[in-house]
Amino acid sequence: MFRIGSYYDLLYLLQLMYLVLCANQKPDEARTYYGKELASSDVPFIVGVTVEDLLCTGTIVLEDTVISAAQCFKSHQPEAVKVYAGANQITETGLYYEVKSIHIHPEYKPAPTFSVGEFDVAILKLKRKIPSDQGSPINVSVDDWGDDEATKKCRTAGFGMHKSATVNEKNVGKLHGSIVKVSRHPDSCSCAVMTNVQKKSVICLDSRSGDRLCYGDYGGAPLVCDRKLVGIAHGQVGCPNFSVPFGDIMMCGSDNLVDVFLWVRPMLMFLADHLPNIEIPQSLKNNGDKNIPAAFLLFTTILYQILVYSLFTKIPL
């Protein structure tokens, strides 16, 4: 998520100063901030999303439906949102699609600074369908991904800030992305300060992944593996003793931060409520069913205790 304003303009200028100072680095030492520029036809399922002065990224999952991050929409109405499809670059004069409704996960919790939030996902219903020459949907993955499975090569792309951005382009999103190496092994999050429970709900990018994210990619940029949506860009998580050095306030690509996608599988029940093409795996249904006998047992136990208590104390029910 990238906000346009005087404070963030200052941060942006400081970031540009940092980039200038690093311009003499060898090519393989420079931060890529999310890869090469792409044509929209390379990733036809990706859209740019603006919410007043915020820039985010989204994924087409139906002709009239886009998935993005809840952090982009928590305090905004549909009329403030514009969705740009079939574009390599977001401009104020570009064609866009209006949003009919925004559906945010009911258990969404914003992330503390440089930490992990919960259920950061939103579904946008558009007022009209996106034609096939402007974009095409991608399926949401319902597959499990064990932490002992091999590393995968996946694609990620978005309209976030790129290392090559100029001052004149600071308000403009250019589509760019690359192939990254990811896994769900706990070690894949390297130095990020997270609990084991948090690690089960995320997919991480670090310095070993081949590329990184930046503002505007999170929230909402997709992680696509085996041609299916697997993750949604969420933010950055700090490492132990993390601090922000002068001149690198935006910290894109820092070795002291790990970029995080939220894994879509733990959010499938919510997504399926709004996407009829998602079929919930039986394993997830069974997990939900397991809570019913436990609740019933608790209820019957309490009822039994009330009956026993009333019997011995002679209190009428």
Using DSSP's 3-state secondary structure scheme, residue 36 falls into strand
Instruction: Please write the tens of the pLDDT for every residue from 47-75.
Output: 999 998 888 999 999 999 999 999 999 77
- Rounded Cα distance between 121 and 256, Å, is 26
Using DSSP's 3-state secondary structure scheme, residue 124 falls into strand
Residue 298 forms part of a structural domain: no
- CB of 169 within 8 A of CB of 159? no
Per-residue pLDDT of the chain (317 residues; tens, 9 = 90+): 655 454 344 434 434 443 333 333 333 322 235 467 888 999 999 999 999 888 899 999 999 999 999 999 977 799 999 999 998 888 766 789 999 999 999 999 988 877 888 999 999 999 999 999 999 999 999 999 887 788 889 998 888 776 665 545 554 578 888 888 888 887 888 888 888 888 889 988 766 655 667 767 778 899 999 999 999 998 888 888 777 655 544 567 677 788 889 999 999 999 999 999 898 888 777 764 444 344 443 454 455 456 545 544 555 55
Residue 292 forms part of a structural domain: no
Residue 95, C-beta contacts closer than 8 angstroms, at least 6 positions apart: 84, 86, 87
Residue 19 forms part of a structural domain: no
Q: Is the pTM of this model over 0.85?
A: no
Which pLDDT score is estimated for 146?
84
Residue 315 forms part of a structural domain: no
- CB of 47 within 8 A of CB of 83? yes
Query: What is the 3-state composition of the chain as percent helix, strand, coil, each rounded to the nearest 5?
Result: 25, 30, 45
Which pLDDT score is estimated for 245?
57
Residue 43 forms part of a structural domain: yes
- CB of 250 within 8 A of CB of 259? no
DSSP string for residues in 204-253: EE-TTSS----BTTBTT-EEEETTEEEEEEEEEEEPTT----TT-TT-TT
Which pLDDT score is estimated for 302?
56
Which pLDDT score is estimated for 196?
86
Which pLDDT score is estimated for 127?
98
Query: Based on the structure, what is the number of domains in the chain?
Result: 1
Residue 299 forms part of a structural domain: no
Residue 112 forms part of a structural domain: yes
Residue 92 forms part of a structural domain: yes
Which pLDDT score is estimated for 313?
55
Which pLDDT score is estimated for 310?
56
Residue with tokens 């949907």: 137
Q: Residue 94 is part of a domain; what is its CATH number?
A: 2.40.10.10
Half-sphere exposure in the Cβ direction for 2 (13 Å, CA): 30
Which pLDDT score is estimated for 165?
57
Which pLDDT score is estimated for 176?
83
Residue with tokens 């800030």: 161
Which pLDDT score is estimated for 259?
85
Q: Could you give the residue ranges of the DSSP H alpha helices within 6-65? A: 6-21
State which residues form the domain around 105. 36-273
- Rounded Cα distance between 286 and 176, Å, is 40
Helix 291-313 to helix 282-289 angle (10° resolution) is: 10
- Rounded Cα distance between 11 and 32, Å, is 19
In this structure, the number of other CB atoms found within 10 A of the CB of residue 28 comes to: 6
